[in-house]
Amino acid sequence: MADYSREIASCIEKFFIEDDWKYKFDAEKGMFTLGVNLKCKLGDTQMRVRVGTDYFYTLAYVKMNASEDVRHEAAEFITRANYGLKNGNFEMDFNDGELRYKSYNNCDGILPSEAIIRDSLVIPALMIDRYGDGLISVLFGMQSPKDAIEAIENN
């Protein structure tokens, strides 16, 4: 069984229940899983909320991996997207091309408020939604990373 804060997990679960979110909780891992619908061409994102002893983080996954031949372009895209972000960041696993957005919350000595929990869920989903179509255009060679980011950030 994973070592995690039952109190932090309880706060997150309370938020899900009160806000009527559909989720699953794995008590062995201290992890919530859920899906969120998006407006971009990706359609949705699968999310995981992992609870630690004094923190929790949210991962929102892109439905497709970057193929090996476009991983450098994908890395440039997420580096450009990450520049200036205040809460969270995009990540890519160079081994398999997995793409995701991560948001981390330090809870040392405190329990997370409803606002912190909401932001930890909404921001990753919004970022996948905002950048998803541009990422797709880069993964399929329709735009350069620079052009895709400029189109997103100037829109």
CA distance 145 to 153: 12
Each residue's pLDDT, cut to its tens digit, for the chain (155 residues) gives 779 999 999 999 999 999 999 999 999 999 999 999 999 999 999 999 999 999 999 999 999 999 999 999 999 999 999 999 999 999 999 999 999 999 999 999 999 999 999 999 999 999 999 999 999 999 999 999 999 999 999 98
Task: Provide the CATH number for the domain formed by 6-153 in this structure.
Answer: 3.30.1460.70
CB atoms within 10 A of CB 52: 17
Distances (CA, A) of 144 to 35, 73, 74, 77, 139: 29, 7, 10, 8, 9
What tokens does 24 get? Answer: 């699953």
* In contact, 95 and 88? CB cutoff 8 Å: no
CA distance 65 to 53: 30
Domain boundaries, given as residue ranges, for the chain: 6-153
